[in-house]
Structures are given as structure tokens and as C-alpha cells.
Amino acid sequence: MTTLTQTSTRMQLQLFESIIDKSELLVWSDHSYGTLLQADASKEFSSQNTLLVVRIRFLPVEIARNREGFNDEDYRKFRPMPNLGTCTLFIYIYQW
């Protein structure tokens, strides 16, 4: 006897698999490669916080995390500093 939760989970899995099947028609040559995914984005990588998933499962999770702002703090901490030397050279050439 199956419960409502099991039926719902099975339906969600079938929906996800149909999305994967349709996306394989696109140019996703790396959709089945393994990728490390953090279970909790607010914690650092560790053996307890890391999952190995196929890339096609990784991408929707990371897209959702980016849209919801979970990676914003990491972006602020680790974004590259602007190269002012190149910018100054560009301004100099532009004014010349």
C-alpha cells in the first residue's frame, strides 16, 4: 500500500526524469558528468556537507541558490579586485 507522500515523490521523480530526457536533446554534452554539490550552501566544503551528483541535477540547484541569494556573500568575499592599471591605460589611450 502506497501513501500519498510516496505517490507524490514518485510523480515528482517522473517529472524530473522527463525534464532530463528533454534536456538531453539540447546541446548538453556534459549533463551526465559527476559534480560536487554542497548540501548546505552556507557551510564550507567537507565530507559531511558534500554530495556527488550528475551535472544536470547540480545546475537547477545552483541556479535556484543564485536566484534566492544564497551565494551573494561568497561573491562579495571573493570577487576579483579591479585591475586599475589596465583601466588607467585605457583612459590614457582614449584621451590621446
Question: CB within 8 A of 51, min separation 6: which ones?
Answer: 36, 37, 38, 39
Question: Looking at the predicted structure, is the pLDDT value of residue 77 above 80?
Answer: no
Question: Looking at the predicted structure, is the pLDDT value of residue 86 above 80?
Answer: no
pLDDT value of residue 85: 55
pLDDT value of residue 92: 47
Rg of the Cα atoms in the chain:
21
pLDDT value of residue 48: 92
Domain layout of the chain by residue ranges: 31-78
Question: CB within 8 A of 24, min separation 6: which ones?
Answer: 31
pLDDT value of residue 2: 53
Helices (H), the chain: 4-23, 55-68, 72-78, 84-95
For 14-66, the pLDDT digits (tens) are 777 777 666 555 545 666 678 888 888 888 889 898 998 888 788 888 888 88
For 16-30, the pLDDT digits (tens) are 777 766 655 554 566
Name the average pLDDT for the chain: 72
